[in-house]
Chains A and B, each alone.
Chain A
Amino acid sequence: MESAAQSPVLARRSSLLEGGTDWRRRAVNRLMTVLIAGAFALAMIPLISLVYEVTKRGIPGLSLEFFTSDARGVVGEGGGAAHAIVGTLVITLVASVISVPIGIMAAIYLNEYGKGRLRQALTFFVDVMTGIPSIVAGLFAYALFELFLGPGIRLGVMGSVALSVLMTPIVIRSAEEVLKIVPNHLREAAYALGTPKWKTIVKVVLPTAFAGLITGVMIAIARIVGETAPLLVTTGVVDSMNSDPFNGRMQNLAVYAYNEYRSPGVFKQAAYDKAWAAALTLIAIVMLLNVAARLVYRHYRTEIR
């Protein structure tokens, strides 16, 4: 048996209790705390100033007209971005309709069925796809539609295809991560009841992962909703309301803001205000999506051990 006096741990502790002289450890601790807090503050500065700036400059451009009318025939002041808001929503919705089923099913394949080389190769290509520059996705979609519909074609759905090229890998990645944390013992419990694999996935794995899957989808949407470059070459620029993605050009908020800033016309300030208001609206949409994702997650999450 080791006596208390011989134990280095106990000896150290008693010296601490006596007030200690371990000033070096405390100094390092304090220094690290300051460094970490400083890094955090540094990271917050651009974020907060961005939100502040966009809000400050965006509010003057907001009006009922901004949300209710389009910019058809408007020269100078007046006119709104309703067509851009609708366009953003429609393009994003169609992109999600394309990406979400493909992405989730691909993730199910990768996590539940795929094995060996093929799985590795697919995972690699998904990773590569996450890094595709967005303009490449836009050009890809344009080239695809040009093949069938001729040069110069501009459609809302083309933008959706371009965005889904960007969105699908994000959905796959996040869904795969979520499926991975569904514990294997739940699958085994279902198998032991004589449940076929596909049914185990549909009735046990997916419901357990539901909250995480929805969150992943929302974050993927938030990631693509503000894309500009791929939409410039696919949906074009237009001043009038168009809610049909299969017919004619379609405006969206990002391109609208870009356009108001690039060619403000004579009434410069009014155009700039509208550009900032569009930016603010876009940020608001992203924030709403994030809040919705959190609410869904909180409501549907399952406690899994």
Chain B
Amino acid sequence: MLGVVTKRSAAEDGKQTMSNGPVGRTSTEPVVKSGRGAKTIEVSGVNLFYGDFHAVEDVSMTIAPNKVTALIGSSGCGKTTFLRSLNRMHELTPGARVAGHVSLDGEDIYGKGVDPVEVRRLIGMVFQQPNPFPTMSIYDNVAAGLNLNSRRVPKSQRDAVVERSLRGAHLWEEVKDRLDKPGSGLSGGQQQRLCIARAIAVEPEVLLMDEPCSALDPVATLAIEDLIAELKSRYTIVIVTHNMQQAARASDVTAFFNLDETGKPGHLIEVGATDQMFTNPSQQATEDYVSGRFG
């Protein structure tokens, strides 16, 4: 158990671990052991707006823990917007509004008195463009979550978190000799893995990924997909992707978003197990999309 989870009481920790049940946490590879566990996200009746523009209409779905849920659909159908509403990043855009409920293991993240900052600590995010902090070294980038969250962590423990996170992101071997070098000196794929390491260093319960591979070459993409497959044993993962092969390869559950026409809000067409979605979807629109007939 990691000592950084100082904010939560031991009792709480125990309860959570128990309620998680057998979540396939492999003890053979103690990469990023979390005091918390993957959690279920329950979305009901979510509508998202940018000013007067209705971007996403009436989405309800359950995102299961320890599974990779892929959000697919054509550009502009609100996948990314929806993803950003899951950790309250959507509301950072001026004029953006959210209606509906999103709950994390039963706790409404849009509830009264809920601090969005606290929500984002539990629900991490990896962005489309790798965005390591340019003023910080590799080490500081990974430790950024700890430093920025003003948790007082002793040096030795911070070292441990950095190493574990970098190992968890399959980056340790490549950077262990140059931890003090700037993160921006790494290749695109390495930078993205650095960003994943940074996200898992704060031990979130959910990891949101917004097209994490779209700026990467196929080799780097494969490395990230392998990483995702491994990370799902510890986190709930939601990934937005434009790449249908990627959704088919890397996800357990697929949700298909679509919009009737430009200017109309995007909505959820259907959600189901990935193999079923790609072989025998229940909606015609899904079949057309996954078979490449449009989009």
Contact across chains for A189 and B127 when beta carbons are under 8 A apart: yes
B276 interface residue per 8 A CB criterion: no
Contact across chains for A189 and B131 when beta carbons are under 8 A apart: yes
Docked pose: A191 CA to B131 CA in angstroms: 12
Q: Give chain A residues whose Cβ lies under 8 Å from the Cβ of B129.
A: 185, 305
Contact string against A for B residues 128-141, beta-carbon threshold 8 Å, 1 for contact and 0 otherwise: 01011111000000
B124 interface residue per 8 A CB criterion: yes
**Chain B residue nearest to A208 in the complex (CB):** B135
20 A-B residue pairs with Cβ-Cβ distance under 8 Å, sorted by A, are A115-B94, A183-B131, A185-B127, A188-B125, A188-B127, A189-B127, A189-B198, A192-B127, A193-B144, A193-B149, A193-B202, A194-B118, A194-B120, A194-B122, A194-B148, A194-B202, A203-B144, A203-B148, A207-B135, A304-B134
Which positions 251-295 of chain B face chain A at CB distance < 8 Å? none
- Of the candidates A183, A188, A204, A303, which one forms a contact with B89 in the assembled complex, judged by CB atoms under 8 Å apart? A188
Docked pose: A208 CA to B117 CA in angstroms: 22
B147 interface residue per 8 A CB criterion: yes
B199 interface residue per 8 A CB criterion: yes
Number of interface residues of B (CB under 8 A): 30
- Of the candidates A183, A195, A305, which one forms a contact with B148 in the assembled complex, judged by CB atoms under 8 Å apart? A195
Q: Give chain B residues whose Cβ lies under 8 Å from the Cβ of A188.
A: 89, 92, 125, 127, 131
A120 interface residue per 8 A CB criterion: no
Contacts between chains A and B (CB distance < 8 A), count = 79
Contact across chains for A191 and B89 when beta carbons are under 8 A apart: yes
Q: Which 5 pairs show the lowest CB-CB distances between chains A and B?
A: A194-B121, A192-B125, A195-B148, A193-B145, A207-B135
Docked pose: A197 CA to B122 CA in angstroms: 17
Contact string against A for B residues 71-104, beta-carbon threshold 8 Å, 1 for contact and 0 otherwise: 0000000000000000101001010000000000
Docked pose: A192 CA to B127 CA in angstroms: 9
Smallest CB separation, A42 vs chain B (Å):
41
Contact across chains for A193 and B150 when beta carbons are under 8 A apart: no
Docked pose: A302 CA to B134 CA in angstroms: 6
Smallest CB separation, A194 vs chain B (Å):
3
B184 interface residue per 8 A CB criterion: yes
Docked pose: A34 CA to B208 CA in angstroms: 58
20 additional contacts, CB 8 Å, given A188-B125, A194-B119, A194-B120? A115-B94, A185-B129, A186-B133, A188-B89, A188-B92, A189-B198, A192-B125, A193-B121, A193-B144, A193-B145, A193-B199, A194-B122, A194-B148, A200-B148, A203-B144, A203-B148, A204-B133, A208-B135, A303-B184, A304-B134
Which positions 278-305 of chain A face chain B at CB distance < 8 Å? 302-305
Q: Give chain B residues whose Cβ lies under 8 Å from the Cβ of A194.
A: 117-122, 145, 148-149, 202
Docked pose: A169 CA to B145 CA in angstroms: 35
Contact across chains for B148 and A192 when beta carbons are under 8 A apart: no
Which positions 88-120 of chain A face chain B at CB distance < 8 Å? 115
Contact across chains for A199 and B150 when beta carbons are under 8 A apart: yes
B195 interface residue per 8 A CB criterion: yes
Contact across chains for A303 and B148 when beta carbons are under 8 A apart: no
Smallest CB separation, A217 vs chain B (Å):
18
Contact across chains for B131 and A185 when beta carbons are under 8 A apart: yes
Docked pose: A43 CA to B133 CA in angstroms: 41
Which positions 175-234 of chain A face chain B at CB distance < 8 Å? 183, 185-186, 188-196, 199-200, 203-204, 207-208, 210
Q: Give chain A residues whose Cβ lies under 8 Å from the Cβ of B121.
A: 193-194
Q: Give chain A residues whose Cβ lies under 8 Å from the Cβ of B134.
A: 186, 208, 302-304
Docked pose: A183 CA to B89 CA in angstroms: 16
**Chain A residue nearest to B132 in the complex (CB):** A189
Q: Give chain B residues whose Cβ lies under 8 Å from the Cβ of A210.
A: 135
Which positions 142-193 of chain A face chain B at CB distance < 8 Å? 183, 185-186, 188-193
Docked pose: A7 CA to B125 CA in angstroms: 51
Smallest CB separation, B168 vs chain A (Å):
16
Q: Give chain A residues whose Cβ lies under 8 Å from the Cβ of B132.
A: 189
Docked pose: A303 CA to B118 CA in angstroms: 31
**Chain A residue nearest to B120 in the complex (CB):** A194
Give the interface centre of A191, A194, A302 by most chain B CB atoms within 10 Å. A194
Q: Give chain A residues whose Cβ lies under 8 Å from the Cβ of B144.
A: 190, 193, 203
Smallest CB separation, B151 vs chain A (Å):
10
Contact across chains for B133 and A192 when beta carbons are under 8 A apart: no
Smallest CB separation, B8 vs chain A (Å):
14
Contact across chains for A192 and B120 when beta carbons are under 8 A apart: yes
Smallest CB separation, A25 vs chain B (Å):
41
**Chain A residue nearest to B201 in the complex (CB):** A193
Docked pose: A213 CA to B148 CA in angstroms: 22
Q: Give chain A residues whose Cβ lies under 8 Å from the Cβ of B119.
A: 194
Contact across chains for A189 and B124 when beta carbons are under 8 A apart: no
Contact across chains for B89 and A193 when beta carbons are under 8 A apart: no
Docked pose: A210 CA to B149 CA in angstroms: 22
Contact across chains for B120 and A193 when beta carbons are under 8 A apart: yes
Contact string against A for B residues 182-208, beta-carbon threshold 8 Å, 1 for contact and 0 otherwise: 001000000000010011001000000
Contact across chains for A193 and B198 when beta carbons are under 8 A apart: yes
> In the complex where A189-B195, A193-B124 touch, is A302 in contact with B148 (Cβ < 8 A)?
no
Q: Give chain A residues whose Cβ lies under 8 Å from the Cβ of B145.
A: 193-195
